[in-house]
Amino acid sequence: MADGAENGGGKKKLIIIIALVVLLLGGGAGAWFFLMGDDEPEAETADAMPQVEQAMPTGPAYYVILPQPFIFNVTGDKRDRLVQVKVQLMVRGDDNESQANQHIPLIESTLLQAFGAATVEQLRTPTGRADLRQQALASVQDAMVKVSGQKVVERVLFTGFVMQ
């Protein structure tokens, strides 16, 4: 009689273990699909990048770190949010690096204006953040063309992004 109870308990443990394994695999697959997202925004960004690269000079890439993160409010449907963005600029060549370092106050002001136009709905999505990066890049390049006669900055990179 004890043998029958042990076999029944062993079968229950085996069924529970199998159910847990199936749940873990299903959860892992669901997380993978959720985190991988949609490939379409990446294709749009990849299409936009070669145009910028063709206009910029070739040479070694340098990264200009802006000294302070940008902290600003964005409006939303229910409430305003506070956003902190750490930014680095990718430039090509020593001359562009020195130009970017020389005009950091202008670049910071231009970026703050671009960020101030953003909304919560735009910043919630990866596509919206990519659009904001492109808008910021265009604004910085326009400002640098007015001052130095060349675009100077090849990419605006968000190295930290927090929205509360």
**Across 27-36, 73-82, 121-130, which has the greatest mean pLDDT?**
121-130
- Over residues 83-100, the pLDDT tens digits come to 999 999 999 988 999 999
Higher-confidence position of 146 and 45: 146
| Confidence (pLDDT) at 17 | 86
- Asked whether residue 106 carries a pLDDT value surpassing 60, the answer given is yes
- Asked whether residue 2 carries a pLDDT value surpassing 80, the answer given is no
In the structure encoding, which two tokens stand for residue 31, read together? Answer: 């997380």
Q: How confident is the model over 109-126, as a mean pLDDT?
A: 89
| Confidence (pLDDT) at 134 | 94
Measure the CA angle with vertex 98, ends 94 and 103; round to 5°. 150
CA dist., res. 43 & res. 53, Å (int): 16
- Asked whether residue 143 carries a pLDDT value surpassing 70, the answer given is yes
Domain boundaries, the chain: 1-36, 40-163
CA dist., res. 116 & res. 123, Å (int): 12
Higher-confidence position of 32 and 153: 153
The pTM assigned to this predicted structure is: 0.62
3-state secondary structure 39-82: CHHHHHHHHHHHHHHHHCCCCCEEEEECCCCEEEEEECCCCCEE
- Asked whether residue 105 carries a pLDDT value surpassing 90, the answer given is yes
| Token pair 């063709």 in the structure block, residue | 54
| Confidence (pLDDT) at 45 | 45
Strands (DSSP E) found in the chain: 61-65, 70-74, 81-92, 153-163
pLDDT band, very low/low/confident/very high, at 132 (cuts 50, 70, 90):
very high
Question: What is the number of helices (H) and of strands (E) in the chain?
Answer: 6, 4
- Asked whether residue 6 carries a pLDDT value surpassing 60, the answer given is no
* CATH entry 3.30.479 includes domain 40-163: yes
Higher-confidence position of 51 and 61: 61
- Asked whether residue 144 carries a pLDDT value surpassing 60, the answer given is yes
Higher-confidence position of 110 and 56: 110
